[in-house]
Amino acid sequence: MSEWLVLVLAMLAVCGVVLVVQVLQQRRIGDDDDPSETPDVIEYMTMMIGVVYAIVLGLAIAGVWEARSAAQDHVRNEAQALHEISERVRVYPADVRDGIREDVDRYVSHVVTTEWHTMRTKGELTHKGDQLLQKVREDVTDFEPRNDFQAQAYQPLLDQVTAADDARGARADSTGATMPGVVWFGLVIGALVTIGMIFALQIRRTPRELLLAGLFSSLIAFLLFLIWDLDAPYSRGVAATADPFLMLFPGAH
């Protein structure tokens, strides 16, 4: 089932529950009830709870979006470092140059196919990817420069290997969820409290008020879904992609 279909069903379900509860509550209230008698303190508390929860939601969304952006940066940095390795070995002898480029291409092909699927489904990198990157490191490290021109390119190549390895490690650290369980507990409880305060305001069963109550609850459901969708940077709908690898290595498949 599509994640967006789940979102639509969840929003409709939340909206339906709120409307049904509101209608049932209205039937228990006598015709002589006056909603203007709602104590001012309840209105003040409802307003403050809504404001505080809105701030919390905003911070949560900003946090998961920043984590998603950082995850995409890790992919871009890794791809760029590998691309630099492929380009800078042009000063090496043909057999060494071709061998390094083949190993880099083999690693990139593994990342964009097998490893990326493993990241999405299991939230981890593959041991095969570690081995392929280690092979690239050995290729670069074990070469002995034969002239000054090759010697000048040697250290920058080592730096690019290190940068690729660091980016891979950062990518591994970003595969899981970024929001702790206690934060999710607070978000869900806050949503229930915020929506529950609607019933404390003695909303009448008029089309306008019921529509606003339903839209408000659906909005909260949407924002919680958005946080959940962004929480795993590589695994869900709005996820980081392997596009940097595909752009710099068009032959990777």
Judged against a pLDDT cut of 80, whether residue 238 lies above it is answered with no
Q: Confidence band (pLDDT; 50, 70, 90) for 11?
A: confident
Q: How confident is the model at residue 25 (pLDDT cuts 50, 70, 90)?
A: low
DSSP the chain: --HHHHHHHHHHHHHHHHHHHHHHHHHHS-TT--GGGS-HHHHHHHHHHHHHHHHHHHHHHHHHHHHHHHHHHHHHHHHHHHHHHHHHGGGS-HHHHHHHHHHHHHHHHHIIIIIHHHHHHHSS--HHHHHHHHHHHHHHHH----SHHHHHHHHHHHHHHHHHHHHHHHHHHTSS--S-HHHHHHHHHHHHHHHHHHHTTT--S-HHHHHHHHHHHHHHHHHHHHHHHHHSTTTSSS---SHHHHHH-TT--
pLDDT tens by residue, 31-54: 555 555 556 666 677 788 888 899
Task: Look over the chain and give the mean of its residue pLDDT values, rounded to a whole number.
Answer: 84
Quote the tokens at residue 86: 């492929």
pLDDT of residue 73: 94
pLDDT value, residue 3: 65
Task: Summarize pLDDT for 164-214 with one digit per residue, the tens.
Answer: 999 999 999 888 788 888 889 999 999 888 887 776 665 555 677 777 777
Asked if 58 contacts 134 with a C-beta cutoff of 8 angstroms, the reply is no
pLDDT for residue 147? 86
Distance (Å, whole) CA 142 – CA 48:
65
Q: What is the mean pLDDT of residues 100-109?
A: 94
User: What average pLDDT score do residues 72-97 get?
Assistant: 93
Per-residue pLDDT band at 148 (split at 50, 70, 90): confident
pLDDT digits (tens, 9 = 90+) for 117-146: 898 888 889 999 999 999 999 999 988 888
What is the reported pTM? 0.78
**Contact between residue 64 and residue 187 where contact means Cβ atoms under 8 Å apart:** no
Can you give the pLDDT at residue 176?
79
200-217 confidence digits (pLDDT tens): 665 555 677 777 777 888
